[in-house]
A and B are shown apart, each in its own frame.
Chain A
Amino acid sequence: MYEGIVQELIDELGRLPGIGPKSAQRIAFHILQTESFDVSRLASVLVEVREKVRFCEICGNVTQEVTCSICRDPRRDATSICVVEEAKDVVAIERTREFKGFYHVLGGAISPIDGIGPDNLRIRQLMTRLADNTVQEVIIATDPNLEGEATATYLTRLLSSLEIKVTRLASGLPVGGDLEYADEVTLGRAFEGRRTVS
């Protein structure tokens, strides 16, 4: 145990995800000992991020304004919406530069065992966005794990009543990997979603 405020700093750092007691101690001493480390800047950014950042009223992405920069961009294609679980997924898809439409962040996936049902996600807001018939395609890009697939199944069933094309991201072999190391579930999916090349 360290004295007073040093221990308090270690305890507070240790509450962050992925930081154990040893890492917390190392970061605390880095802050204490490194003169070039600008503490006031870190402190002001932390305060600012809590005060200014909120969720986009349209898509649920993180933003500093009422709506996010993607929803404000008039050059984007209004006929397609990509549904993702978290704001982090928006960034991942944006990095591909493949998708030019809008996003909708659900805020998680359906997981009854964790007490998360469809009502706890931003599904109602999605349905409202689809009501004006502008959107022609909904791309479901939830995680390819069990909860993500279940959410996709639920959304597909819900959207089948509307006259909108519903697509799901393909899953299969990772680029640069070896076929022999692929597990049977992934390989099976890759077979299922194979495409014609000639």
Chain B
Amino acid sequence: MAQQFVGERSIKLLNCSRESTAAMKQYFKNLQAAKAAGEPVVWTATWEPQEIFRVMDINIYFMVHYAALSAAKQLSMRYLGNLQEEGFSKDICRYCGQRLGFVLDKNKEDAPWGGPPTPDLEVKSCVDDLQDKILEYKAKALGFPLYLMDRTWPTRVSKGMWHTWDTEDYRLEYAMKQYRQLIAFLENFFHRRLDMEKLKEAVRNTVEMFRLWWEVDQLRKTIPAPITTADHYSNIIPIQFFRGTKQGIEMLTKYRDEVKERVDKGLAAVPNERIRLFWPEIAPWFTPGIFNAFEDKYGAAFVFDQYHYPEWFHQVDPEKPIESLAKLYAAPYAEDYANAPGKVEWTVEHARDYSIDGVVIMWAESCKAFCNSLLLMQRALSKVGIPSIIIKGDIVDIRDWHDQKIKSEIGDFIETLDPSRRPESKRRATEFLEQMGSTLR
């Protein structure tokens, strides 16, 4: 068998970045132990009300993490190959599909970290055409039930949509109804009661976590950047996987403190930072080293990226826990965040606020749920004078990652960038954002 391309790890500057993987590993071990002890285990997605499960002592796991982990362990090709042998098109979504490929694998002895425990139940909202179908195949293969909720779609577009929770009442009501139904179901299924006071506390914890994340995001505006995407992506573990918990707050507090310390001391992630880059798409999980690849040669730092959340997240009211959860997870955010025009707006807005010189947009063909509106983003950026480049790659599949070619293209792109254009692009970006939404019904 040929020697495949092996992805590069990223360079982490912060202690908490290194600790977060260990924390996740421990979490995983605890999960396996919980399963062995007969405790409830549920698979769900990050953008579901994690807090409900936490306060009911239901152990949750996210197969999206497993997809990223398998990719990092260079196992994607094998798992994706399983899907093809089963008869699925080779053009199905690889990021989501890979999890099914793992489930179908005939030899799980080398499963990373010993493999996730089979759950008692999977809970998910229908957010697109394919994820629920994949879940049905998985659930059938492993013999557990599936509980599907639903997410609604906006019926209007307005300016700065992704900035506000403000959505049509009927969407919020539907989301809240579904969450109440979910709670009742879980109470019956797992023979336990949800304590509303505990849920309020969990929501308070989540709110605090988003507030801390927001603080870090403000600190990242500093020039030169105190950290890069390389560190930031290690710290998504708490915000994505430990929401509602005190542990999550501790981890993010450490993160905020370490970043703040660097800012106070004037420490730059890239000492000779000259060029500031933005990576708005999902990362190639098998080779996060790409984020450090241009530091030495070009003084180019990836200073901003995809995991950012609007300020209103930490303004929801924990005293109304179900409403808060509905606002966070089921009302407008996901659709406005991942799709045009919201995506186009935040691309320009962040490019302005983070003093970006160039945007690197990775085009992962098979993932349309997130990887869409790319030409619209490019167009918007060109209107405000911020150069961008689209490179073909993938989130988990190394076959679509031509490392040398990609590095050489990005390198050439960086050489065309000019930091002296920043004030002008900022001005034009502000103008552009004011215009957006002005011609709509």
A and B held together in a complex? no
